[in-house]
Structure 1
Amino acid sequence: MKRWTKVMVGVATIALATAGCAGSGGNESSGEQQSDGPRTLTVWLMNGSAPETLTDSLHKEFEQSHDGVTVKYEVQEWNGIQDKLTTALASQDPPDVIELGNTQAPSFADEGVLTDLSRDVDSLSGDQWLDSLKASGEWDGKQYSTPFYAANRMVVYRTDMFQQAGITAPPTSREEWLTAIGKLKTKFGADKQFQPLYLPGQNWYALLSFIYDEGGDIARQTGVEFTATLDSPEAKAGLEFYKELVDASGTTAPKDNDEQNPEQAGIYGQGKVAMMIALPWEVDTAAADNADIKAKTGAFPIPSKNAGETAPVFQGGSNLAIPVNSKNADLAKEYLKLMLSSKYQAQFAEAGMVPGASTDLSALDANPVSKAMAEASKKGKSVPATPKWATIEAGQNPLKDMLTAYLTGAKDLDTATADANKALDAAIGD
């Protein structure tokens, strides 16, 4: 899962080679359907996605219910997957089912190499789909991929430090959050290494929550066109609150880097940090060097400016798709139907992930961190579903530049947002 978080929410540029690419805009599978004799369904899922117990059980059930069918299951590594998928999808013999990062899906759909699943949504548990992953699988009014699983950030915190600082309950508003930071500074501030909140300057995923909470977004969609909105009053308000958190906490995190540089989980694991905005498995990373910290860690959803509410969150995750040249698209749809059934989606929840096609998140309640993630996930959102988004995360991300410029004082609020808006428009607009 650590591999997923580092790559899935930071997808590299996808440049599909369209020359020689079969298919007609991804409307229907163009490969010949095999019907007689033994058949092999090739499935590519990514390393760290589905628990082995789940895939073993699913593949056994699928083969038993489909005479003469063998599932050829191949686990892929994220490193190099862009080129590997580009080559496979341009061929006449691609895998039959593939896993895609939710920020990758629009690019592949736009290239016409995925099967249109619009008519299959109902049979694939569509009424249970996560809205954020459903949106990432849509392009030009059609559905090209289904949700698989998701995860989102929440505030991870030291329960023992909260107790010692007299904080009796997790914050349920921005105001309470800032008050908690003040109490933690009062209690532990004599230690110069202490940080009530570790918040690096370029954690733009956290910034998205604050912008969403203000009622804004980073881009507006009209049909298949996108217009940046980083200079809106709502986006500016979200950026201002980010700075308020940084200033209030006095965090020593770098203002010119993100949560992976240095790895914030390692900083939290040193025992001098009371809170971080994190993904659930970062607690395990922290515990690798400090086993005791896991028992002292709780979590709560990122608070809203509205008391008693949670802020919307960016929801990263994976989608499932069928290549347009699959020769077994009929079987592939049956495979997706089984994977997205309540039986197997429940197993994703038991493994600590938000299932992409289930509204039953009760299994996540067993762990306080995954429970907080599940609560926050109800307001999950995705980044703009444009094929050009991958270039933002792989290249010079205007949101990161904006954060650093504003937090360091290199630019004022209006200049930082105007410059970032112009850069984002150039990247995702025509």
Structure 2
Amino acid sequence: MRRRRPLALVCVSAALLSGCGLVAREDAAEQRSVTVWLMKDSASKDFVDRFTEEFEGDHPGLDLQVRIQQWTGIGEKVRAALKADGTGGPDVIEVGNTQVPQYAEDGGLLDLTLESMRDWGLRDWLPGLAEPGQWMSRQYGVPWYAANRVVVYRKDLFERAGITAPPRTQQEWLDITERLDTGGTQGIYLAGQDWYTLAGFIWEEGGELARQRGAVWQGTLDSAAALRGMDYYRRLQALGDGPVDADEEHPPQAGVFAGGQVAQIVAVPGLARAIVEQNPELEGKLGFFPVPGKSAGAPGAVFTGGSDLVVAKNTDAREAAVAVVEALAGEKWNTELARAMNYVPNKKSLAAAVAGEEGVTAMAAGAARGRATPTTPRWGAVEADNPIKEYMTAVLKGGDAATEARRASERVTDLLDLDGE
């Protein structure tokens, strides 16, 4: 365990959660460090610099050390840091929202349930960030920012086809995509193994990728609801020339969209920059709308990616670490991050902060119904092997959906078996 001289509060610990500052008990001039690991490109240098300056000003005697980490290999690096007993490790760590259960199961994270239940606005957090931040009904990850898929479309091709407004329902989406899929234009480019998009369709039908029954997780791709989601995916995917045996990165769909007559893709809004860089003629011609749902009253369910903030259990700067999380996830700095980086803020009530940007507005609307993968530390094993992709390809090549779904569900169940490690 790292040992530093103790911090004292100018008020009781509970009051800290309302914004009270920290001071050193002994020598106020002595600078004390709290270390934060943030991931590369999650926040701009300007944001980090401004946050650091204000946080240190609000907490005399504290020296905030922000260290930028690479995503590649971060899992093992975080695990090692959470198990370490020496000095110099991180106190606060940014982690992918679906990674929290893995670290919590290892016992390396501080339980933040009480803090998040007091006045951090737990009930308003985006479910796609808050739910995977839990483990065994305790909150270990605090939502920081979100990003999810929307439909990126060619406004000029919509106008040429006489389509004056984006679709509001799944059925309308199929109808207009069929109208667009003509004369050398693909109605939509949807790769056959884009399983994140499929997950949204399954959730929209009320299905799940897997369910927990007692202590056991079971794959549920063969449920009636999940099969309806796959059928919708099959019908939509057929209205373009996406490869049935590859995902959206093989080839990168930004290049496909930039290089041909493609009316729509499903992607994060930020991909539009890469599209325009590859084809400057598309500047000003790209639009965005949320993935439609079954009814016009709400967007469809989507997979929500993004980051949560966690506190290392082995920290000896607990109060300072919690104060960092509170500030970063609080309204002021969370909305500033969202505006600076075109993210979705961590609360539905903050969506107005990004209302001026069309792509982020569409993303925020979808994020309100965002979901995440099953909250089990074994889900990483499913993604590594990914029988869902194999299942999708088999169906799109004409295989019986019920048979292929049953086979894939059995494989998911095997991969989620904690005793099978």
Same fold (TM over 0.5): yes
Q: Where do 5+ consecutive residues of structure 2 fail to align?
A: 8-25
Deviations 1:63-111 (A, max 9, x none): 1121211111111111221232222222113201101111111000000
Deviations 1:253-280 (A, max 9, x none): 2111111111001111114110001111
More contact order relative to length (CA 8 Å, sep ≥ 6)? 1
2:228 — aligned with what? 237
1:287 — aligned with what? 276
1:25 — aligned with what? none
1:3 — aligned with what? none
1:13 — aligned with what? none
Q: Give 1:348 deviation, angstroms.
A: 2.5
Q: Give 1:429 deviation, angstroms.
A: 3.2
Alignment of 1:352-391 (within 5 A): 352-357=342-347, 359-391=349-381
Which of 135, 138, 141 is the matching residue for 2:137?
A: 141
Separation (CA, whole Å) in 2 of partners of 1:307 and 1:126: 28
Which of 229, 252, 257 is the matching residue for 2:246?
A: 257
1:276 — aligned with what? 265
Separation (CA, whole Å) in 1 of partners of 2:347 and 2:111: 18
1:107 — aligned with what? 102
1:10 — aligned with what? none
Alignment of 1:40-55 (within 5 A): 40-55=33-48
In the alignment, is the contact (CA less than 8 A) between 2:145 and 2:338 conserved in 1?
no
Matched, 1:190 2:180: no
Aligned-residue identity in percent: 37
Amino acid at match of 1:390: G
Amino acid at match of 2:112: L
Which of 404, 408, 412 is the matching residue for 1:420?
A: 408
Taking structure 1 as the reference length, the TM-score comes to: 0.88
Matched, 1:317 2:313: no
Q: Give 1:123 deviation, angstroms.
A: 3.9
2:67 — aligned with what? 74
Q: How many residues align?
A: 393
Separation (CA, whole Å) in 1 of partners of 2:285 and 2:125: 34
Q: Give 1:32 deviation, angstroms.
A: 6.4
Separation (CA, whole Å) in 2 of partners of 1:64 and 1:88: 28
In the alignment, is the contact (CA less than 8 A) between 1:349 and 1:361 conserved in 2?
no
Separation (CA, whole Å) in 1 of partners of 2:133 and 2:6: 27
Taking structure 2 as the reference length, the TM-score comes to: 0.89
Deviations 1:145-181 (A, max 9, x none): 1111111111110011000100111011122112112
Alignment of 1:118-267 (within 5 A): 118-121=113-116, 122-185=118-181, 189-191=182-184, 194-222=185-213, 225-247=216-238, 249=239, 251-267=240-256
Matched, 1:34 2:6: yes
In the alignment, is the contact (CA less than 8 A) between 2:127 and 2:368 conserved in 1?
no
Separation (CA, whole Å) in 1 of partners of 2:260 and 2:45: 33
Separation (CA, whole Å) in 1 of partners of 2:393 and 2:112: 41
Q: Give 1:377 deviation, angstroms.
A: 1.1
Separation (CA, whole Å) in 2 of partners of 1:360 and 1:275: 28
Larger mean Cα displacement after TM superposition, 196-205 or 280-289: 280-289
